[in-house]
Each structure stands twice: as structure tokens, then as C-alpha cells.
Amino acid sequence: MPTPALTPRRRGRPQKFGRPARLVAMTLPEDVVAWLESIQTDLGRAVVMLYDAAAHRQTAPQTAGLTGAEIVEVGEGRGLILVNPAVVRGLTGVATIPFSGGRAFLALEPAWTIADLELAVVDCLDGGVQDKQRRVALTSFRAQLREWRSDPSVRLKARSIIVVERGRARPRSRGQVG
């Protein structure tokens, strides 16, 4: 039986992009394919990421309409917390991994737990968040975290992810070999 926090699973394959989609075959120049693969190895996801980024620029402010967070099921009864990155931006120990539609998955510092995340939200609220929409969203997010933490049917487990950050190559000094 699905937990109250997870959306019940439908039969068949889960939606790839979290919304209805259809198969489209297209022919693209090799250089365009290489460029899309540099963004995301899955070409469909690369196109959707580009669309979401372009569409997001034309939408309302990032915090508009967000109150709390949701758990998105990723398979086998497991889910990830999906948030608006503008709401959690600047929280100590919290990073986000961009998803689609201006949303992101949470990534915590190594060895952090859901209690550490909740405390970071409390500390931010106690620090006097000036933006009213963000304060409302953070308060709702804290309530959601508390609900998940106290729900006996929900187990919150921290897992590690690997984030690869690429920077600009540093210029070699003149005497450097290799």
C-alpha cells in the first residue's frame, strides 16, 4: 500500500518527464546531437531541459505558488524530495540538483539527516526571512518535513550522490610537464 506521501503508482512504465509524453523520431545534424549529448546523454531529456529552461524565463517569480515540497516516486516504493530551489537557496548544508519545470531534488551534506535539514529550515526562519512568499513556503516545507518524519509509514533515509563539477581548465605554468 503506498504511503500517504507518495503518489500511488499507476500500472505500466512511469512517466519519463513527470507529465504526458509521446515518442517522436527526428533526424538531427551530428554536431547538434553532440551538443545535446554534452548537456545530457539522454537526448530527450536534453531537449526537455532546454525547453524547461527557456519556458521558465517567461514564468512568474520562482517562489510564486510554492508552498512546501513533494515526494516524487522514482521506483520500487522509493521517492525523492522535489522542491523549488529558490525556497531552499542559502540553507546551510543543502544543495539542489535541477530537475524540470524549475524544480530540483534535494542533496544534503554528507552524514546529514532529515533532522539536520529541518533544523536548517528553522534556523533560516529564525534568522528573519524578509520575503513573505519565501517565509510561507519555508514554513510549509518545515511542516511537511515534520509530517514525513513523524509518519510511521514513511522511512527517510539519507543516500549519497556523486556530483561532478566541471570548472575551466587552469592554464599550465611554463615549466610544467605533461
- Report the half-sphere exposure of 49 (CA within 13 A, side-chain side): 15
Residues 84 and 127 placed together within one structural domain of the fold: yes
pTM listed for this prediction = 0.55
pLDDT score, position 174: 61
Contact partners, residue 26, CB within 8 Å, separation at least 6: none
For residue 93 the three cell numbers come to 548544508
Which domain, by its residues, includes 35?
Answer: 25-58
Residues 80 and 152 placed together within one structural domain of the fold: yes
DSSP strand pairing (104-108 vs 78-83): antiparallel
The domain boundary residue, chosen from 13, 33, 58: 58
Residues 78 and 43 placed together within one structural domain of the fold: no
In a domain, 137, yes or no: yes
Low-confidence ranges of the chain (pLDDT < 50): 1-5, 7, 57-65
In a domain, 111, yes or no: yes
> Which residues sit opposite 73 in a β-bridge?
79
Residues 124 and 45 placed together within one structural domain of the fold: no
